[in-house]
Structure 1
């Protein structure tokens, strides 16, 4: 039996954005991590099997093809609607029966002659699962290398172009507990510092320019009591300063000295965090944190040293917010103040953190998948041209960044808009009358002619309202006639007495009280309630 959709899913479908994906890649084996190249249309994906794939996509052609197919699909829907074959033109992206974007059914079987998506290289990178993958962010070599970590306790550095490993380190020798395992990676944007978080809450730092030395550079012991969920560099503060999330706390650490501050217990799992777009490489003062109870909280280092959250934004109370990322677009005023959130119900939310509201929703997944009810959004990234990338275990989607034209809607709803204009004219006429009343009240020195016009306007209003009341009261008169018919004794009574019938009825109900003597007499007699008392 299919599980019912939650209220949040239904609401998201109502508020769904018109933006659609341009590419969808499906995975046979669960996808654990994905990363977008910062300057090129290159996509990295790591799976539970330990395989890592590097793909290139032609974003411009995908955009053009998606737009052309969407217009074709829309015209067919419009034609079917005009012939009465369908009840309405479907404008929803998620509810459309036909998908107009490019779909790769199996990431392991992309044709070599595919001009839109190509596989640069693929490899079995780790013996266990590949848990995290990132591109190098250093200014002199942005995106030239990729770093991956797996459950085999090995971090590997490889060339983005060829996939060839150029350095690796076995971190198991640096564990306090040999059963510990790697969870997350983070790289400094200015120094060759490669950080890795562990399940026991430690942070290990290595020299990314010389991983083969197997030498631990720094170690922050017990940054958290539990697994490190996220590591965020603070280049605007220092190359040695980072933020980490683990369990229910946020920590500000210096990799040389240890924990600077640790927040109060938030009594909720803290899963991911990010800086707003305008603070990514600068101030690093405002931090947005995703919670397990469907919240996004705002923190400020300048206010309370990140000891506690300042405000909270309700995003989806029935799901956990598993991923959060800035839009990275500072050119648009609406986007610069927004962050993208992905939740466990397969929904994407664009949240304006300054207004504290969800301003846009997209549906990554609404149907049952292979590994759960829906494809939970646990991975978010932004590609080189500000396109949103969302992924779960089943699929990955690259969303269009082209503005959706409103001409489609206006061309279809010309008649509806005319009706709305007529309706607005009627509303304006009513509002004009009411505004006249208000202005006349404030006007103490009004003329008698204006007063007569007021009365005429009031008469118009009263006439319309009395007409409505007559329609409403018609059923009441019918009920009185039925009551007269049911009472045979009152057939010969005049209408006036019949109208006064409800009054004595109410009085009889109020006056019908039994005395204690009458109650005792009733208890002596057998009746239905007493007979079935013991059953």
Structure 2
């Protein structure tokens, strides 16, 4: 299958996002600019560009219906932008006391943001007010993900701790002890029952959802070693499979259940260009990734979904790990 040509950029990409319905993507840059593109195998076209901050844009997300883009910045601000025109709709200049590092949209009304000092805020977008605030980490929030049941999960890089927050409760729940590693990225598989975190060491840490409540005494996560370098980003492909992006520039297809194993290589930025972000289109035809090579790249994954019972194998994969 043909894939779109890479999109070259003049500055470092912190984050990008695919539109939930159309062949559009946005990229947030270190300069504070946000670029919007229409992509396709026939060619890519930049639709608009706007500078939302004088400091880096650290995160971008489309709202579920796709009409509004939300961005976060190192200058502690949150912005909303009209997707069609790039026009600024709303700006909260001091949403956090410290630079915002991550955000997570829960639905059309609720979102979470996490900053460099481990503070997480839950926002009601209808009122633009923070309805909850948590401080359970001692370092910056590296990744967040939302699951059904009104729970919001955060993982933190510096302190190696996974925390779970039920929006209906005041106290967080989760594994009582941190791992001796830096946790960088997160996925939830098996219909919400398997938590998978990538780490600085290259190991994947796996928790069964809620077992930290039921096991006495609580046990630590399973630790699966296989990546030769840090797992900086990951993307859920289905309930059994993820794509990991490593500091060695390689995008790996990894089966988590029923048996953990490498399945093959989906892409390669080159060993000098770590993968910092990997996402899949809503149509499940392409993966997108960005790294230090100043390009947004596309990779074919449509074949993975043509036959649900089959996954590709790659006989030379062991040479890369």
* TM superposition score category, shorter chain reference: 0.7 to 0.9
Aligned partner of 1:232 in structure 2 is: 145
Give 1:20 deviation, angstroms: 7.7
Deviation (angstroms), 1:320: 0.5
Structure exhibiting the larger radius of gyration computed from Cα positions: 1
CA RMSD of aligned residues (A): 2.1
Match among 181, 188, 198 for residue 106 of structure 2:
188
Paired residue for 2:244? 341
Unaligned runs of 5+ in 2: 305-321
Matched, 1:327 2:237: yes
Aligned to 1:261: 174
The 5 Å alignment of 1:67-146 reads 116-137=43-64, 142-146=65-69
How high is the TM-score relative to the length of structure 1? 0.52
* Alignment partners' CA distance in 2, 1:43 and 1:217: 30
**Structure 1: gaps (5+ residues):** 1-18, 63-114, 329-335, 368-373, 405-535
Partner in structure 1 of residue 295 of structure 2: 395
1:365 and 2:269 correspond: yes
- C-alpha deviation, 1:403, in angstroms: 4.1
The separation in 2 between residues aligned to 1:42 and 1:149, in whole angstroms, is: 19
Partner in structure 1 of residue 282 of structure 2: 384
CA contact (8 A) 1:244 1:251 kept: yes
Contact 1:264 1:308 in 2 (8 A): no
Q: Contact 1:297–1:310 at 8 Å: present in 2 too?
A: yes
CA distance in 1, matches of 2:71, 2:199: 26
Q: Given the superposition, is the C-alpha separation of residues 30 and 308 from structure 1 closer, same or farther in structure 2, using an over 3 Å criterion?
A: farther
SS in 2 for 1:260: coil
Aligned counterparts of 1:228 and 1:403: Cα–Cα separation in 2: 34
> Normalising to structure 2: TM-score of the pair?
0.85
Identify the residue that residue 311 of structure 2 maps to in structure 1: none
- Separation (CA, whole Å) in 1 of partners of 2:104 and 2:240: 24
The structure that is strand-richer by fraction is: 2
Measure, in 1, the Cα distance between the counterparts of 2:278 and 2:251.
Answer: 10
Equivalent residue number for residue 216 of structure 1: 130
| 8 Å Cα contact 1:56-1:120 kept in structure 2 | yes
Provide the C-alpha distance between the structure 1 equivalents of 2:283 and 2:58, rounded to a whole number of angstroms: 26
CA distance in 1, matches of 2:282, 2:249: 24
Does the 8 Å CA contact 2:174/2:210 hold for their aligned counterparts?
no
In structure 2, the residue corresponding to 1:304 is in which secondary structure?
helix
SS in 2 for 1:209: coil
Say if 2:82 and 2:88, in contact at 8 Å, map to a contact too: yes
Q: Tell me if 1:154 matches 2:154.
A: no
| Contact 1:375–1:395 under 8 Å retained in 2 | no
- Provide the residue aligned with 2:205 in structure 1: 297
Q: Secondary structure at the match of 2:86?
A: coil
Shift of 1:395: 1.5
From 301, 313, 322, give the equivalent of 2:224.
313
Residue 51 in structure 1 maps to residue 33 in structure 2? yes
Deviation beyond 4 Å, 4+ runs, structure 1: 306-309
For the structure 1 residues 146 and 264, does the alpha-carbon distance in structure 2 shift closer, same or farther, using more than 3 Å as the test? same
Say whether 1:164 aligns with 2:74: no
Distance 1:364 1:144 in 2: 32
Q: Distance in 1 between matches of 2:11 and 2:166?
A: 38
1:402 Cα shift?
Answer: 4.8
Residue-pair matches, total: 295
CA distance in 2, matches of 1:375, 1:322: 12
Over 3 Å counting, the alpha-carbon distance change for 1:310 and 1:20 in structure 2 is: farther
Q: Structure 1 residues 305, 395: closer, same or farther in 2, change over 3 A?
A: farther
Q: Measure the CA separation in 1 of the matches of 2:5 and 2:269.
A: 14
Query: SS at 1:259's partner residue?
Result: coil
Q: Is the contact between residue 4 and residue 43 of structure 2 (CA under 8 Å) also seen in structure 1?
A: no
Q: Which has the higher helix share?
A: 1
